[in-house]
Amino acid sequence: MSNPQPGSSENPVDAGLGPAAEQQVTPVLTPKQAKRANSTVVGMLIAIAATFGLVLPVLLFNPTHTAETYARDIDVRNVSSEAADIAGYVPLAPDLPAGWTSNFARWNSGGSDGVSFWEVGYLTPERQFIQLTQTASANPTWTAQRLEDTQVSGQRSIATVDWELLDSSSGDSFLSTETGEFTLILNGTADLAEFDVLGAAIADELSAS
């Protein structure tokens, strides 16, 4: 048996490859390729920053709508007194038991419909919401819009005032009444028992005026 001759390909180790052939070759980017890669990364970072710039203000100005989000304590009677000169009457500011607070109270001047109205938002002790709306210039279109086209489902007497109870697809409760010169609407997420508390306070104030 003859020995392999120098330079023969019968022995691959001796074919001039050596250990260096087993080493990985590190790719080298050309300047143009490196510039293109950097541009892609920079573009991605700019896109992410732009997305955060759009989303962050929405998160800041539109927090989760919980009762705590709206927790304020407005002096309704003080705002009512200030609105009286504009309204031509003293808007309702009923006295409510401890645990009730108000998160807004405002007078809304008539828009194109010509209906000016008073509205107050209340948070109940159970951290539910009821809105009171009062106007002396209601018309059928305005009333239907405020009642969100709900349907009358019954009557509810609270103290000395009789209210219409209305069904709403939104799940909120609605009460509406005509008393003297005023149209009154109550609506919100609270139980009817808490509507009764507010309704009784309204009845007391109406009888005292």
- Summarised one tens digit per residue, pLDDT across range 48-68 is 766 655 655 544 444 444 444
Q: Let me know: does 58 contact 89? Beta carbons within 8 Å.
A: no
pTM (2 decimals)?
A: 0.67
**102 lies in the same domain as 57:** no
**81 lies in the same domain as 126:** yes
The pLDDT of residue 25: 56
Residue 29 forms part of a structural domain: yes
**201 lies in the same domain as 117:** yes
The pLDDT of residue 57: 54
**106 lies in the same domain as 175:** yes
Q: Among residues 63, 81, 201, which one has the least CA distance to residue 130?
A: 201
Distance CA 77, CA 91 (A): 9
Strands 151-158 and 161-167 come out as: antiparallel
Specify the DSSP class assigned to residue 25. Answer: P
Residue 8 forms part of a structural domain: no
Count the domains in the chain: 2
Q: Among residues 95, 96, 93, which one has the least CA distance to residue 104?
A: 93
**57 lies in the same domain as 94:** no
Give the Cβ contact number of residue 39 at 10 Å: 10
**51 lies in the same domain as 81:** no
Collect the ranges in the chain with pLDDT lower than 50. 2, 4-17, 20-21, 58-69
The amino acid sitting at 142 is: W
Residue 200 forms part of a structural domain: yes
The pLDDT of residue 71: 58
The pLDDT of residue 209: 82
Residue ranges making up the domain that contains 18:
13-61
Residue 4 forms part of a structural domain: no
**72 lies in the same domain as 45:** no
Residue 7 forms part of a structural domain: no
